[in-house]
Amino acid sequence: MKLASLKNGSRDGKLVVVSRDLKKAVAVPHIAATMQYVLDHWSSLAPALAEVYQGLNHGTVQDEFVFNEQECESPLPRAYQWADGSAYVNHVELVRRARNSEMPPSFWTDPLMYQGGSDDFIGPRDNVEVVSEEYGIDFEGEVAVITGDVAMASTPEQARSQIRLVMLVNDVSLRGLIPNELAKGFGFFQSKPASAFSPVAVTPEELGSNWQDAKLHLPLISHLNGKLFGKPNAGVDMTFDFGQLVAHAAKTRNLGAGAVIGSGTVSNKQGTEYGTSIDEGGLGYSCIAEVRMIETIRDGKPATGFMKFGDRIRLEMLDAEGKSIFGAIDQQVVAYQAP
């Protein structure tokens, strides 16, 4: 099934069930008012929601209305946990090379993961507000899952069974702030402002054969200012599946229902050393930093700039029939105005 949270002036939005084709939605106040409430009571509420979903797809529910992605919050407008891995090690290798930093071989066996801010996600069509272009504004196209309760020290297999929903993410990154922040040794903080998630969160079974081995086997399509920027397959070159990432996050702690775990930037090697850009006939990338690195390797310096105020990024994933599965993240970068 497909679920979304509509903006309604509250901090948590209004839970709706969305039809498979993303054309219709229906509120379910008799089942749950918010996405977090569903996740808190998944096993008792999911069957009723699935029934509504079937009815919505067959046109047999009352009070359905036109679904509008513009009105969406992120599926969890705020969450108790947002931990982002780096499962596409190609991305890590490239970005570290861009920072003149060697990648230890252990990165192929021990996932990288940072904890992000989850108290104020932005919606999939909200502006990305940044104080200064000098921060080096970049997008990162990723896949993320929302978990149920995951017990400490769960195995990857146990963790896989706790994956409730799948989404796309724009993990906005401020490249200019990263080197100084990582040099301090405590990881990302200011360099990772609010993330945005796709309008719709989708159960793994809804993804059918595209969800296998706890990976999503479809291209993640990104357009920067309307021009195709990347279409790498999220199921390819993913060194750690979502079960491994969730288990990594839970090694020394329980994860509470509604924890969001990200894949890291989707990146394919495409049979080359580091992948190839769209302009070169390749599958492209899911962030600007990787293109800049390829340019540096090829030309000695990067040619592509980071995002400027007014620039727009669109992230989407299509099914075999070319229909959007999660709806689109489509955001403009703008100058932050203090309230």
Q: What is the DSSP string of 4-57?
A: EEE--SSSS-EEEEE-TTSSEEEE-TTT-SSHHHHHHTHHHHHHHHHHHHHHHH
Check residue 191 for interaction with a second copy (CB under 8 A): yes
Three-state DSSP class for residue 240: coil
Residues 37-56 that bind a second copy (CB under 8 A): 40
Q: Which residue in the block uniquely carries the two structure tokens 């340019």?
A: 295
User: Do residues 17 and 52 make contact, with C-beta atoms less than 8 angstroms apart?
Assistant: yes
Check residue 113 for interaction with a second copy (CB under 8 A): yes
| Shortest distance in whole angstroms from residue 83 CB to a second copy | 7
Amino acid at 213: D
* Residue of 102, 135, 125, 80 whose CA lies nearest to 328: 125
Judged by CB under 8 A, the stretch of 25-33, 54-62, 128-136, 203-211 that binds a second copy is 128-136
Check residue 261 for interaction with a second copy (CB under 8 A): no
- Choose between 15 and 112: whose C-beta lies nearer to a second copy: 112
| Shortest distance in whole angstroms from residue 251 CB to a second copy | 5
Q: Tell which one of 47, 60, 110, 310 touches a second copy (CB under 8 A).
A: 110
Q: Tell which one of 81, 198, 270, 331 touches a second copy (CB under 8 A).
A: 81
- Choose between 207 and 246: whose C-beta lies nearer to a second copy: 246
Check residue 60 for interaction with a second copy (CB under 8 A): no
Q: Which residue in the block uniquely carries the two structure tokens 């861009």?
A: 98
Across the chain, which distance is largest between two alpha carbons, in Å?
A: 61
Q: Tell which one of 51, 129, 133, 295 touches a second copy (CB under 8 A).
A: 129
Task: Please tell me the distance from the alpha carbon of residue 100 to that of residue 182, in angstroms, as a whole number.
Answer: 13
Check residue 79 for interaction with a second copy (CB under 8 A): yes
Residues 169-188 that bind a second copy (CB under 8 A): 174, 177, 182-188
Q: Which helix (H) or strand (E) holds 291?
A: helix 288-299
- Choose between 19 and 86: whose C-beta lies nearer to a second copy: 86
Check residue 117 for interaction with a second copy (CB under 8 A): yes
Mask 229-258, x = binds a second copy (CB under 8 A)? Answer: -------------------xx-xxxxxxxx
* Residue of 218, 197, 224, 216 whose CA lies nearest to 285: 224
Check residue 193 for interaction with a second copy (CB under 8 A): yes
Q: Tell which one of 80, 217, 295, 297 touches a second copy (CB under 8 A).
A: 80
Q: Which two tokens stand for residue 94?
A: 């490239």
Check residue 338 for interaction with a second copy (CB under 8 A): yes
CA neighbours closer than 13 Å in the CB half-sphere of residue 254 = 6
Q: What is the DSSP string of 132-170?
A: -GGG-EE--EEEEEEE--B-TT--HHHHHTTEEEEEEEE
- Residues in contact with a second copy, counted by CB under 8 A, come to a total of 57
Q: Which two tokens stand for residue 164?
A: 């409730």
- Choose between 83 and 144: whose C-beta lies nearer to a second copy: 83
Three-state DSSP class for residue 274: coil
How far apart, in Å, are the Cα atoms of 115 and each of 112, 182, 190?
A: 10, 14, 12
Q: Tell which one of 9, 29, 59, 104 touches a second copy (CB under 8 A).
A: 104
Check residue 131 for interaction with a second copy (CB under 8 A): yes
Judged by CB under 8 A, the stretch of 123-131, 200-208, 229-237, 279-287 that binds a second copy is 123-131
Task: Please tell me the distance from the alpha carbon of residue 216 to that of residue 209, in angstroms, as a whole number.
Answer: 9
Check residue 114 for interaction with a second copy (CB under 8 A): yes
Site of interaction with a second copy (CB under 8 A)? 11, 40, 78-81, 83, 86, 101, 104, 106-107, 110, 112-120, 129-131, 135, 151-153, 174, 177, 182-191, 193-194, 248-249, 251-259, 336, 338-339
